[in-house]
Amino acid sequence: MRVSKARRQVLGGGSGRQVAVYGHAVSQGEVYSARFEFYGSGRELYQAVKFAYEGYVPRHAHTFVKVSARDFLRNPELYGVRGYWTAKDVRS
């Protein structure tokens, strides 16, 4: 089955590459389990994971975030807040 380019964008993750960053996050003095799931090209995925490791965690109200790596890099404050990971792991 062929999927058009417009349909692929609606479905998300057209290239099929995904990376998850998950673990325990600390933001505003609270420790909670959190997860970012990024999809996109290899270079964008690498940059998004690196950026998340350097100090962005999902908001406490929305601890599971699935987002395009490109969108996260353009506007990280929309998807997360400044904080740090106490325990983290990356899976692809």
DSSP 46-59: HHHHHHHHTTEEE-
At 70, is the pLDDT very low, low, confident or very high (cuts 50, 70, 90)? very high
Q: Is the pLDDT of residue 33 over 60?
A: yes
At residue 12, the pLDDT reads: 52
d(CA 38, CA 41): 10
Q: pLDDT digit string (tens) for 34-61?
A: 999 999 989 999 999 999 988 898 988 8
Average pLDDT over all residues of the chain: 83
Positive or negative: CA dihedral 85, 58, 34, 45:
negative
> What residue spans define the domains of the chain?
11-91
Q: Which of 43-47, 70-74, 84-88 has the lowest mean pLDDT?
A: 84-88
